[in-house]
Each structure stands twice: as C-alpha cells, then as structure tokens.
Amino acid sequence: MTNDSAIWVYLSASPLFGLTLTLVSYLLAVKLYQTGRGNPLLNPVALSILLIMGVLYAFNLTYEAYFSGAQFIHFLLGPATVALAIPLFDQFGKLKKVWLPLTAALVLGITVSGFSAYFIALQLGASEQTLLSLIPKSVTAPIAMGISEKTGGLPTLTAVFVVITGILGAILGSTLFKLLKIRDDSVKGVAMGVTAHGLGTARSFQLSPEMGAFAGLAMALSASISPFLLPLVLSFVQRFQ
C-alpha cells in the first residue's frame, strides 16, 4: 500500500472525516450559491447533499462511517431549532395580530399537503406503503418518520420524501411567490415553513429576517400539530377509497 493510500484509509476511518467532508461541502456549495448571485437552483443544502453523496459513492464509503463524524453537526440541530425563537421574538408584535389566520393556515396547509400527496400518488399507481410514507412529507424529518412508522409507512422512504420536498420548496418557493404576487414576508414564511420545513426555513432566512422568523414558527407548530392531524387525514381518505 502506498503512503497516499494509507493516509486515505486512515482519514476515511476517522470520525473527523465525516465532519470535515460536511463542512467543506457546505462551504463550497455556499461559494457556488454566491457566485450564482443567489440563484435558488444553487441551493447550498441541495448542493452539499450531492457533493457528499458523490464522495461517498466515489470512494465506496458507507453512510455509517460518514455519520460517525457528521453526528457532531447533527447534534447542533436541536440548539439551532431553539435559536429560531430569537428572530421570532422580534416579530412578536405582528404575531399577536395574525395568530388566528396563522393557526387556520397551518391546519389547512397540513391537511391539504396530506390529501394532495396521497391522492396524486394514488392516481399514479403508488403502492399502499408508498402512499402512507408520503402523507407526512412536509413535516420535519424526525417527526415525519415517527408518523410514518405509526401509520404503516416506511420511515426511511418518508425521510427521502421529506428531503426532496424541502429541496423543491427551497428552490421553487420564491419563484411561486412572484408568480402569485405574494409580497407579505410573514405569509411567504408561513407557506415555506409548512410545506418545506427546515430547508424552506433556511431559504427564508436568506431572503428576509421576517420571512425566516415566520417560517421557523410555522415549521415548529406544524411539527406539533401534524402527529394529531395527519392520522385523521389518513383515516378519512381510507374510508372513502
């Protein structure tokens, strides 16, 4: 074994490899995003995922080996989510005025998301397990996987749908708002948080602090409401099949 090969084997087996790969991939993705002048198609999270997948595939590395280092960043998701309350506090005055339509929008958004995913996939001939895995696609991943498991879906498949939904929402959301002539940042934030969860919230903060604050609120509240609401949606659609 050459010295270069020995060094690579050592690095790939080290927990720091996953951490370093994640950070480097994200920094490169951010650089590409900035070079593209904020083009949503160059979403840093989506590019980071592609870069990491490419490295793991090219060097035949397992996800478990990668995650042994990436788990340090994964741990920070909790504190980062809690920190979303800070920008929301700055919008507390507006929040008090819109809490009723906000609540209605959350319930309607979660319900429509579940219904639409189920019936579109049903018309396309998806299996029952795929249908059950699709319903919680707009909820943040840990809760979506729990809902999927309890309702008979496949949690790993749900996780894939959650990531795809978040990426598509982050890429297409701002364009849709322009087409629909929606200008209120709080409205756009709620829409992004309900439909595209964490990735949509991250994109919202790139566009506007107010939009990001309301996206974070919508993401958190939808994660709290969905475990109660989506099983009711599933019960309803199965009754009329």
Q: State pLDDT tens for residues 94-138.
A: 777 878 888 888 888 888 888 888 888 888 888 888 888 888 888
| pLDDT score at 12 | 52
Q: Report the mean per-residue pLDDT for the chain.
A: 82
Backbone angles phi, psi at 60, to 5 degrees: 55, 50
**Whole-angstrom Cα distance, residue 157 to residue 12?**
27
Contacts of 166 (CB under 8 A, 6+ apart): 45, 196, 197, 198, 199, 200
Instruction: Calculate mean pLDDT across residues 177-200.
Output: 88
**Whole-angstrom Cα distance, residue 164 to residue 240?**
28
Give the lowest-confidence range in 21-30, 49-58, 74-83, 90-99: 74-83
Give the lowest-confidence range in 70-79, 106-115, 169-178: 70-79
| pLDDT score at 241 | 61
Give the lowest-confidence range in 43-57, 59-73, 152-166, 170-184: 59-73
Give the lowest-confidence range in 66-80, 156-170, 195-209: 66-80
Burial of 159 (0-12, 13-18, 19+ CB in 10 A): middle
Instruction: Choose between 3 and 103: higher pLDDT.
Output: 103
Q: 7 falls in which pLDDT band (50, 70, 90)?
A: very low
Reply yes or no on whether the pLDDT at 1 is more than 70.
no
Reply yes or no on whether the pLDDT at 203 is more than 70.
yes
Reply yes or no on whether the pLDDT at 5 is more than 70.
no
Give the HSE-up count for residue 62: Cα atoms under 13 Å, Cβ half-sphere.
6
Instruction: Calculate mean pLDDT across residues 69-83.
Output: 72
| pLDDT score at 179 | 92
Question: Which pTM does this prediction carry?
Answer: 0.74
Chain mean position to CA 30: 18
